[in-house]
Amino acid sequence: MAHSVKIPVPGSNKEISVHTELFINNEFVPSVDSQETIQCFNPATEEVIASVVAGSAKDIDRAVAAARTAFKTTWGKNVTGWERSRLINKLADLIERDSQELAELETLNNGKPVAIARDSDIGDSIQCLRYYAGWADKITGQTIEVDNKSKMAFTIREAVGVCGQIIPWNYPINMWAWKVAPALAVGCTIVMKPSEITPLTALKLSELVVEAGFPPGVINTVPSLGAVGGATLAAHPDVDKIAFTGSTMTGRKIMEAAAKSNLKKVSLELGGKSPQLIFESADLEQAAAWTALGFCWNTGQDCTAGSRVYVQDTVYDKFLDILVRTVKATVIGNGFDQKSGGGPLVSKPQFDRVWGYIDSGKAEGAKVALGGERRNTKGYFVDPTIFTDINPDMKIVSSDYLNIFGPVLSVGRFKTEEEAIALANNTTYGLGAGLHSTDASQCMRVSGLMEAGTVWVNQYNALNNNVPFGGKKQSGIGRELGSHALEEYTSVKAVHWNIGEKLQWPL
């Protein structure tokens, strides 16, 4: 019998039941050779709420074999696009039905407020699944004119096969949907490795995969340590594609392992050091509101968090006053408190990492305009912190370091548009960027010169499932969302058909 735990929901008599074993071939099963477990914490209380099985390399082998069998027999070319669409939509319906419970579980393991988990993360995930369900029967190729009238040529877009998908802890359900939906739509099968910090919702979603009616082996979930599960998937000779969201350092290791094994297809959404530019013509109240969202959303635990803001010197003081006032209204608290607009950081290592940045900012001479003080309470809480009087060599600003992944902002000055663009692009990363201006010509000009995969104009961190998302430079390769994500899970086959030419041999 599969093992499960019941986790109490704070402030209610409710318990959430979660399986704690590996999900392979539509069954929850123990590891074949590992006795290790992964402890899951509630970051608001620092308490262990569950322990799940830590999968081994042999468990990954089992999951890959199940995915390969499903791809060859009950999925892939064996299922029509219409049937794939029906099942993906059914899964979306079940997630919508259980959205409150999933949100509560997400809050218990990740810390984000329940309302945000339900309405933003899970709401967007449902839309993502339905968006790609609409694509499932619309994967088309091309008919291509060729020179000879007795020949024709056409292309077929085919599912690449078995996909290893490695997702992070900051948006556990959302990243699950971003990876799973396009892969299922085109006919791929999946071995999912959730973050070892936040595996619970991926296991809960696995229950819904069975209820929706997906054939065994189409989606498999193997919680494991990254050095085991992620490394095994990246190097596995029978995995056809790896999709990864996480750090640039780990992305490099995945590319290397993929190259040394079977040259599997790789897409990487990696870290950033995202800038925002505030020009003197900007609506400063709105710019401050979007800036606050840019570094406080998800308590700053976001790859595109706008952690560097540069303000034109003519409006710098005024903007800073508005920004501090705006951010002061942000409530960071327990995710089960309806007043909370942000929760704790996800783990003790992440908490220590963020405080390391804050302490370095102080030590290197940056001025604290807001925050910067520790709470004397349990939980991994960090209040929004704003630094001014910065320079490019400080750790909190330097291009040598990724986003802080906490609610920490550095605010600098610029005089000219050219200086602003140079400051924004002074990084080896290029995931997101933003600018605020009411000058339409300036918006068009500057957005074209900012080196990022996504540029937001007079807004920030707003994403849509039909718009591609990904990075430039060391922020990754490939795209998620939109029709472009389908390209990451398909390969193009060209067919040349002779319909009448007679070959005379020898020529």
Closest CA to 434 of 274, 303, 320: 274
Closest CA to 385 of 307, 502, 452: 307
- Residue 71, φ and ψ in degrees, nearest 5: -60, -35
Check: CB of residue 369 under 8 Å from CB of residue 411.
yes
Phi-psi region of 263 (alpha: psi -120 to 50; beta: other; left: phi over 0): left
Neighbours of 34 (CB within 10 A): 17
Q: What is the DSSP string of 125-150?
A: HHHHHHHHHHHTT-----EE--S-TT
Check: CB of residue 199 under 8 Å from CB of residue 52.
yes
H helices present in 378-427, as ranges: 417-424
CB within 8 Å of 440: residues ≥ 6 apart:
none
Q: What angle do CA 156, 167, 110 make, to 5 degrees?
A: 145
Whether 269 sits among the annotated catalytic residues: the reply is yes
- Residue 52, φ and ψ in degrees, nearest 5: -115, 160
Exposure of 352 by Cβ count < 10 A (0-12 exposed, 13-18 middle, 19+ buried)? exposed
- Residue 111, φ and ψ in degrees, nearest 5: 105, -20
The residue whose two tokens read 């029978």 is 238
DSSP helix/strand/coil, 476: strand
Which residue in 21, 158, 196, 269 is the catalytic one?
A: 269
Please name the helix (run of DSSP H) or strand (run of DSSP E) that holds residue 385, with its range, or none.
strand 385-388
What are the C-alpha distances in Å from 314 to residues 223, 282, 309, 319, 409? 52, 11, 15, 10, 20
3-state secondary structure 417-456: HHHHHHHHCCCCEECEEEEECCCHHHHHHHHHHCCCCEEE
Please name the helix (run of DSSP H) or strand (run of DSSP E) that holds residue 359, with its range, or none.
helix 348-363
Q: Could you give the residue numbers annotated as active site?
A: 269
